[in-house]
Structure 1
Amino acid sequence: MKQVKKQTAVVTGGAQGIGRAVVERLAAMDIRMAIWDIDIDLARATAAATGADAVACEVDIADWDSVEAAAEATLEQFETIEILVNSAGVAGSNNPLADYPIDEFRKITEVNLLGTFHVNRAVVPTMMKQNYGRIVNIASVAGKEGNPNASAYSASKAGVIALTKSLGKELADQNIAVNCVTPAAARTRIFSQMKQEHIDYMLSKIPRGRFLEVSEAAAMIAWLCSEENSFTTGASFDLSGGRATY
């Protein structure tokens, strides 16, 4: 995939999981990396492993001031931001809605949905000024179909899909593509937040009979971030192994 000039990518949650796989894939395309993650030690280790053109920023995407400061620091370092991949998120515990802890529901929504808004809000003005940008928000197949005992996660990811579609339409007259991916579960550290019965349930719903590999997610996301993706915007791309029905 061609890149006309040296570009800068922001990857939230880039220290591990799908985010790290995206960091490695984009770095191999000679793209400068700003890794935004709440785990700064792990983010620094990932940046060091990625190469000289990678920096780490400690960011809590649920906190607007934290996100705004990271955007300013990234622009000071690299001057431009052409790519945003918002991979940071939390799964939360598994409980029926009637028993779901109210504070935890709020926290999951603040990270997954409000956090997505914060990150997009911080980066979009720069992309508008340069009339170029590629944004990929990581949603989930749970946002399309809803997983039982995961109402907070499912609802927050459904919101990410809708936010992506809305923003894609807002920016459709500019050279800014805004898309999301809806992956089935990948075996990452987020599994530690789930009950084994919920993990088994998710696996049972995947026709391919296995979990998503993070490298498979990174391959699709890398194309969505490229200049070759010059037409598609406001869309949802499945990585569900055949689970998604629409």
Structure 2
Amino acid sequence: MKDKVVLISGGGSGFGKAMAVRFARAGCRVLISGRRPEPLRRVAEAIRAGDPAADAEWIRADMCRGEDAEAMAARAMERWGRVDVMINNAGSGVRIAPFDTYTAEEIDTLVSANLMTAIHGCRAVIPLMKQQGFGVILNVASACAKHAWPSWSVYTAAKMGVLGLSRCLYGELRPHGIRVGTLIPGAAPTEFSQAADAVYGLEGDSLKAEDVAEAAYLMASLPQRAMIEELMIWGTNQEVIPL
């Protein structure tokens, strides 16, 4: 993975931050994006402080906007001339609540933040990867893409959309040398859970962002002949009682 160019949306905190650190530690050239410049700057500076030879950059980009996703891809091409790995990690809980309490604006925001971000990220890099004849796209979904829990309806609809997107693109892009997979994490204590006011009822040692980052690295680092289509990672303290 040394010198591979890795783009990670939502790289300022949580899973994305941990992924940036993990890939940079492996010698990858990392570009992270997000809506808030300061967290992004801190992550990139921390990576470079830990290893002065590390190549870590950041760009402010709201992946809900197609033009911002394209700007992220363009920055990578300008800086390094290719995109080896795109990790569509950007997402937001907004608010987890009974379906009939959502406003139309909240629904639009949830779908945009958790599905359209992946769609825009894919659209931005697929033409580049087709020209290269190689590339890996990882779309980060959620356990909600596989299970159903009360009050998670809109978020679940968006993340099931991410899973469907990945499955279709896997078959569509395989002939072009592009490998597409879905990383499906369970509950973890991140800014997402705080922002969504999500209470998981977890006890003991929970799944960590670093664990999810290791799973992402595994998926991205396989040789060209192999791909993990879907990888689901749970914290062993999370009891799964789906509907």
- Cα contact 2:6–2:30 (8 A) shared by 1: yes
Q: How does 1:180-199 map to 2 (within 5 A)?
A: 180-195=182-197, 198-199=199-200
1:47 to 44, 61, 66: 44
Q: 1:37 aligned to 2:31?
A: no
Change (3 A) 1:159 1:244: farther
> Structure 2: which 5+ runs fail to align?
49-53
- The SS at the match of 1:113 is helix
Q: How does 1:30-109 map to 2 (within 5 A)?
A: 30-51=27-48, 52-109=54-111
1:224 paired residue number: 219
Q: 1:22 aligned to 2:23?
A: no
- Cα contact 1:184–1:241 (8 A) shared by 2: yes
1:7 paired residue number: 4
2:231 to 233, 237, 242: 237
- The SS at the match of 1:33 is strand
The separation in 1 between residues aligned to 2:11 and 2:138, in whole angstroms, is 13
Aligned residue pairs total: 234
Change (3 A) 1:170 1:101: same
2:138 paired residue number: 136
- Cα contact 2:187–2:235 (8 A) shared by 1: no
The separation in 1 between residues aligned to 2:179 and 2:241, in whole angstroms, is 23
- Cα contact 1:223–1:229 (8 A) shared by 2: no
- The SS at the match of 1:145 is coil
User: TM-score w.r.t. structure 2 length?
Assistant: 0.90
The alignment yields a C-alpha RMSD, in angstroms, of 1.9
The separation in 2 between residues aligned to 1:33 and 1:195, in whole angstroms, is 31
| CA-to-aligned-CA distance 1:1-52 (integer Å, 9 cap, x gap) | xx3x621100001111111111111001110011111111110111111125
| CA-to-aligned-CA distance 1:118-174 (integer Å, 9 cap, x gap) | 001101111111111111111000121122112111111110000010111101123
Q: How does 1:163-202 map to 2 (within 5 A)?
A: 163-195=165-197, 198-200=199-201
The separation in 1 between residues aligned to 2:225 and 2:113, in whole angstroms, is 29
The separation in 1 between residues aligned to 2:227 and 2:241, in whole angstroms, is 20
The separation in 2 between residues aligned to 1:195 and 1:59, in whole angstroms, is 25
- The SS at the match of 1:172 is helix
- Cα contact 2:34–2:60 (8 A) shared by 1: yes
The separation in 1 between residues aligned to 2:62 and 2:26, in whole angstroms, is 27
Q: For residue 215 of structure 1, report the CA deviation from its aligned partner.
A: 1.2
- The SS at the match of 1:88 is coil
| Identity, % of aligned positions | 28
> Structure 1: which 5+ runs fail to align?
none
